[in-house]
Structures are given as C-alpha cells and as structure tokens.
A and B are shown apart, each in its own frame.
Chain A
Amino acid sequence: MIVLQLAVDTVSATALYALVALAVSLAYSGSGILNLAIGQIAIAGGLAAAAATTGGWPLWAGVALGVGVGASLGAAAERTLVKPSIGRPVLGAVLLIAAAIVLREVLIGLFPRTSYAFPVVGGAVRVWGGIVHIADVVTIASVAGAAAAGVVVLRTTTVGAALRATAGSPGAAELLGVDTQMVRTASFAVAGALATGAALLGVSHFPLTAEGGVVLALRGVAAAVAGGYRSPARVLLCALAIAAGQVIGGFYLGSGGEVISDAVAVGAIAIGAGVWHR
C-alpha cells in the first residue's frame, strides 16, 4: 500500500514544514523580517542536542540543550542583525542569510561528519497492508500539540496580546506600554526553539548534518509566505502542497523531485500571494 505510506510521509513532512512556518510567522509578526537563518539555527540546536545525547546525556537534557541553543541563537540574531534592520525587510533577510552561511561553515568545522545520530522513537505498525512509522505519528502529534499551545498562548495570554499588538502596529503597542524590543527578541528566541524542535522531530526525514539547514527552512518559509503568515489554515495548506510535491515527486522522479518541490513552492507563493494577500 504505497499510497498510504506516501500519504503518511506527506503528512509528516507537512507537519515539519508547518512547524518551521509557525516559527517564521512568529518572528515575522514581531519584526516584519523573514528569518531566513532559521534553518541553520535549527540545525545548530539539533547538532548540539545530538552531541549531548551521543556524549551520554539523557534524552530530555539533550533536547533542552538543543532548544536552548536554538533559542539563544535566535535571540542573538535578532539583537545583532534584525534590530538594526527594522523597516528594511529585504536587508534584514539578506543579512540573516549571510549569517546562516557563516554559521553553517562554523558548524561544518565543529561537526565535520556527514550526519549525526539522534534518538528517534523506533518501530512501525502495519496498517491496511502499509507500514506506518511511529516516529511519523509522534511528529504529527507533537506539531499539532505545539500549534494548539501556540494558539492558546496567542489568544489568551498577556504575552500573546503583546505580540499581536506589536504585529499590528509597533508604534501603537509602545503607546500601550508594550516593550516591543523585548517582544521581538522573545519571538525570535521562541522561533529558534520551535525550529530546533522541527529539526529534532524530522531526523528520520532530514539527516542531521551541518549543511542541511537550508532545505529544512526554505520550504517552511515558503509555506509561511504563501499562507500569508497569519492564517494557520492557509499555511498548512501550502505546507501540504509543498510536502506533497516533494514526497510524490521524489518517489517517482528521484532527485528530480526536488525541482518539482521547489516549483510547487514558488507556485504556492505566487498563487497564495496573488489570491490572499491583496
């Protein structure tokens, strides 16, 4: 039952891209700048977690370290590159890409192996003649949980209200007493943590390698852009389209599937922006 397997793979990849898209949207809401370094930040956190667990740390401690590294790098990127770029979204995005490239090269020096192991929930179950990996189910459930928690935080807490106020109008938010600088930094930190979570959950899909940040991030960024940042349903739909293009294209075309996936991502952005943004 290859169809079932492809479907589960697609949903699992969708969940990962959606989680990255959530992180990108969060950072964008606070700053108006696309965090194009998010993939490399996630990989840095993931590699830190992998190194810790390989070195004998308990799983929870490794995850905490990785998430902490991701959050710290996100906050540092905001303080050094995003803060001076406020109001210049293109410059901010390009500076973040440059930072990601430098970070990647540093990571290659620190983690020279082609990939690093991180414990995943093992096992598989047979469903209707097909094989469903437990790790995929865990991924989907984790992302759904993170998304639900995000919605609750945004809609019911003071922190969420501050973020929404900053996203709507930073000037008005400051008049209301919101520390928009702190909101921006926090949004980038949380985004880094979420993306690290995506990197760790996606170990079975994307090898944990210093060079793997771009692929992980860019399709998530594409889903966020195409969905218009603030509409979870649209972001999810675009993530699904991109993931389907990648999984199905990859199954039938091998490496040619990457072209399909990128084309779908561009198409999703073009259509999404055309239909929804204006």
Chain B
Amino acid sequence: MINRVIVLGAVCVVAALVYPIFASGPQLDQAATALALAGPAAAAALSAAVGRPTLAAAALAGAGAYTSGLLARQGVPVVLSVLCGGGAGATAAALVALVCWRLEAPAFLVASLLAALGGGALVQALPAATGAEAGLGPIPPIEVALGTTKNAVATPVGDFHVLLAVAAVVAVVAGLGLLHGPGPVWRAIGSDRERATASGIRPLVGEIGALALGGLMAGLCGALAAHVSRVASPSAFGIDAAALPLLAALAAGRQPIAAAGIAVATGLVGQVVLPAAGWHGPPDAGSLALGLLAVATVATLLPTGAARDDRPVPGGPSPDDEWPLAALGIRGASVEVLPITVRSREGALLVAAPSFSVAAGQVLAIVGPNGSGKSTLLRRLATILGRERDASISVDGGNARCVLMPQEGGGFGFCTVRETLVIAGSHQRAASSSGPLADAWIDRLGLRDVAGAYCAELPAGRRRLAELGRVLLSAPSVLLCDEPLAGLDDGSRAAAVSCLRAASRAGLTILIAEHDREAVAALAGSVVTLERADLVGEPLTSPAT
C-alpha cells in the first residue's frame, strides 16, 4: 500500500512538470507552494529518523524564505540569498536540537511546535521588516546567467521548474543522507538512544547533524518557493503547515524521498486538484487533503508491526562451532559490589541486593522471583559502571567498559542487522575492520538471510540474536545480560549459551539475569538470589553463593 502511495506521489510530480504549460499565475503559485513541501517533508523524515520528530519543518522553510527574501530585497544576488536561506534553516534546526536535546520525543514535538509558532509571532511583531500578515514581497525572481553579457529573467514557468528540480534534488539528498554516510548512525540514535550511547555514539552530535541537514533542505525549498511566488508568507509558521510534513514522514516510514512525494502529492491535491474540482468546504481543500492523508495513514500503517514468528529457523546458529571472539580483543574486569538498594522517586524500596563480587572471565547469575528487581539492579549497575562510578562498586582497571543487553527488543530497530553490527563494531575499532567482523558474526549467528532487513521487522528470537551480536561487538569488559535467552527457540538458545560460555572463557565478565535454570546451571559460576525488596527490607551483606 505504501508503494502505491509513493507511485501516486510520483505521478503527481510528473503531472506537475506538465501542469505549468496550462496553468495561470495564481495556480502556479499554489502548485509551487505544494512543491516546496518536499523540503520540509524531507526534513521531517530526517528528524523523525533520528528520534527528534519536529513540527517546525515548515517553519524552517519559512525561515529560509524570509531570510532569502530580505537579503534579495537588499540587493544580494538571488542565488546567494537562497543559499543563505538554506543556511538560516540549518542554523535554526540545529539550535532547536541543541536547546531541546534532553527532551523525549513527545516533548520535543511540543517544543518544536512552540518554536514554530514563536517564529510566526516574531514575524507579526516586526511588521516593518516582514510585512506582517500580508507577507514579505515583492521578492526578486530567480535570474539565470546565460553568458557574460546578459541575464535572462526566468519566466514563471521556468521558475517553477527550477523549484521542481530543486525539490527533487533535496528529497534525493535527504534520502541518500539517511542511507549512506552518517545515515545508519542517525537511524541507530532514532531507534534507541541508550543502546546507541552504549555503542559509542554521541546522540547529540547525530541529532544536530540530522536536523541541520533537514533544516538546510527545508530552507532551500522555502527560499526558492518565495522567489517563485515573489512573496514569503507567514502561514509557514502556522499549525496547518506544521502537521503535514511530519504526517507525510510518518506515513512514508521516515523515508525522505517517499515523504517528499507524499507531502507534494497531498499539497497538490489540497492546493490544485480539489479547488479545480470545485470543492470549497468546509473543511477547506487543504485541510481536507490533510485529513485524507491522516485517514490513509491510519488505514494503511497501523496494522503492521514486528513479526512474532519464533519457530526454529533452518540454518540457525550452531552451538558447536567456534565463535569469532579473537577479533574482539576481550579484556575482562573484576567487579565488586557492596550492598546496594534502589528506591523509587516516592522512596519505596525496589531492590535490596547483597554484596557480591565476580572475577574477570566469570559468569554470575542473578536469580529471583518476578518483581525482585533483577532488571532494575542490572540497569542500576549499568548506570553506575557506565557513568557515575561511586563507592558502592569497584571495577579493576580504569578503562573497564560495561555494556547492557536489555530485556526488550534487539539491535537498532530502524537499522539493518548488518548496519547494527557494523555500528557496534566501529566502537574502539577501525571502520575498515568493523565490516568484515560484522559479516563474520552475521554468518556465525545464522543471520545471513536477514542481514539486510531492519531489526524492527525481525521475529523476536532472531532480533535477540542480533542483539547478542551487537553487545559483543561493542567491546565490553563487563556484559550485563537481562534475560538474553527469552524468545529463542531451542537451537538458538543452545547456541547463545555456547556463545556466552565461549565469551566468558575468552575473559569477558558476565552478569546475567535469567529465569532458565538449565541455562543458569550451564553458564554461571556463582549465583546471587534476590528476594522481593518489600518482603526483605534492607539488603543483606552475605556474599554470593
């Protein structure tokens, strides 16, 4: 169904190529407005892919339009003005990313919308410079240099096609940006910030980079559209303009090219097709097109989800072969933990763990009933070992690296299996060696047939295998595994146990929370038993058994 929508968008864009031949000036302006949506939609797709869904994409185009318009009216060459417009969009986007970097996605959504509306209020507050409600105009048209002696002022039709070409280029650049270069890293950040950080990625750098590229795309399209229609409109900062790009991006599965196509198609339906068909509302044609897109999104996208097929996979990993651990350069570390408690914000005791220690290259199992806080303890240990380093835990060696394998999911959802392992392997390793290493592990884990599939689309068991590969390639000294065998079939389970045992023999220190008693018996050299914290009160100081 998504493919059909993309084809529909492509048909609309092709129609736009022919449309100017028949259309009059105002109709061209409306079509130009729709075409200019390509930039904000690509920006919204990039921002959503990096986990920073923004409602300010259209406002970034508006920033580009006003910047370019103001400069061009001051006599700056149009091409330079347009480039400055793109720069203004990139700067504004980077600024929003920086100011709001600690926000979760929904909060970022609201903050970005407020920022967009604030931009609109600023335009209204400076009527002398911006033209307030009427918009900034007239803006000089695009001029194409034909030689050393003369310039040709492009016709409206020519302008339109310049914009169309730029919109297409913008969408393609954004699409390629997400597929190549830093793209996989951006998608890894968008998949899971914590996992990305654990794999050595700096989320803030990636977020600023992705949003700045998106802002550049939006700013360029907005600036060009302003020169085509000769006016920069404050409507770019309104809530109507805010919703469409992001909705198109989500409908397109965060793919910039598809998002641009869907946004342009929706814009053309609202700006050109419905008015030409005589639709006058209510609701008005633009809102109706947006509503139709929302309905199509609900109807087509929502039933999909991660597949849940945990049947044994033919050609799955074997427990008997060698594991390619030598290339990982494992250096284990011993860990000593004093009695530790974890409390909720309200002060309730969540975990009361006794003191324990585990030597380098040993496996310690944390067992206990549901609700005893095994996962909470592992997360707390990961936080302390990863960042805080306090007196309750000591690790030998200053550079010990602790990596958590969380209970849920696996790999980076919006990255392929291979991209996930390459990203994990890139940490503390030359980029050239991480590819072959990732391939070796893909083969050994029996994931070759899904190496190019997105992790979010994998069955749960295979996703866990990809996660096992990710954490091992992240070069840990201490590995914290939260139910690593959950969701695996018998063959994969045996292989995962074999892998962890081999990693332990190679020197890796492993703390594992697991319900499977057989696996615990096969793996663990020592066991810590947790009881429900509300039953036992403060922690004991007895050593691990």
Contacts and interface: CB of A to CB of B under 8 A. Distances in A.
B285 to A, nearest CB: 10
B246 to A, nearest CB: 5
B288 interface: yes
Given A90-B105, A256-B121, A269 B111 contact: yes
Interface majority SS on A: helix, strand, loop or mixed? helix
B125 interface: yes
A113 interface: no
B282 to A, nearest CB: 3
B282 A101 contact: no
Contact of B247 (A95, A108, A214): A95
B536 interface: no
B294 interface: yes
A266 B95 CA distance: 12
B43 to A, nearest CB: 15
Contacts of B18: none
B104 A258 contact: no
A190 to B, nearest CB: 20
Most chain A CB atoms below 10 A, which of B107, B125, B290: B107
Interface stretch (B79-87, B169-177, B237-245, B467-475): B237-245
B355 interface: no
B106 to A, nearest CB: 5
A81 interface: yes
Contact of B239 (A81, A97, A278): A97
Contact of B282 (A33, A84, A105, A273): A105
Interface string B97-137: 00110111111011101110110011011000000000000
Given A84-B298, A98-B294, A258-B121, A225 B283 contact: no
Q: Which of B48, B114, B298 has the most CB of A within 10 A?
A: B114
Nearest to A231: B345
A262 B116 CA distance: 9
A105 B294 contact: no
Interface size class of A (residues with CB under 8 A): 35 or more
Band of interface residues on B? 35 or more
A98 B291 contact: yes
A105 B281 contact: yes
B110 A218 contact: yes
A109 B297 contact: no
A240 to B, nearest CB: 17
- Which applies to chain B's interface (DSSP): helix, strand, loop or mixed? helix
Of A93, A226, A266, A273, which is in contact with the most chain B CB atoms at under 10 Å from its CB? A266
Nearest to A210: B282
B487 interface: no
Given A93-B106, A98-B294, A273-B107, A259 B118 contact: yes
B305 to A, nearest CB: 9
Contact of B117 (A88, A95, A102, A262): A262
Nearest to B290: A98
Given A106-B283, A225-B107, A258 B294 contact: no
A94 B121 CA distance: 22
B53 interface: yes
Given A34-B109, A225-B107, A90 B48 contact: yes
Contact of B125 (A100, A225, A256): A256
Given A84-B298, A105-B281, A105-B282, A266 B115 contact: yes
B122 A259 contact: yes
A90 B125 contact: no
Taking each of B100, B110, B302, which has the highest tally of chain A beta carbons within 10 Å of its own beta carbon?
B110
B287 interface: yes
A269 B125 contact: no
Nearest to B53: A90
Nearest to A267: B99
A263 B281 contact: no
B282 A95 contact: no
A94 B115 contact: no
B281 A225 contact: no
Contacts of B111: 222, 225, 265-266, 269-270
A261 to B, nearest CB: 8
Interface of B: 48, 53, 55, 99-100, 102-107, 109-111, 113-115, 117-118, 121-122, 124-125, 239-240, 242-243, 246-247, 250, 281-284, 287-288, 290-291, 293-294, 297-298, 301-302
The 7 nearest A-B residue pairs measured at CB: A109-B282, A105-B283, A262-B118, A258-B121, A256-B125, A98-B294, A102-B291
5 contacts: A36-B113, A89-B105, A90-B109, A97-B55, A101-B243
Given A98-B293, A258-B118, 6 more contacts: A90-B105, A95-B247, A97-B239, A218-B114, A265-B111, A266-B111
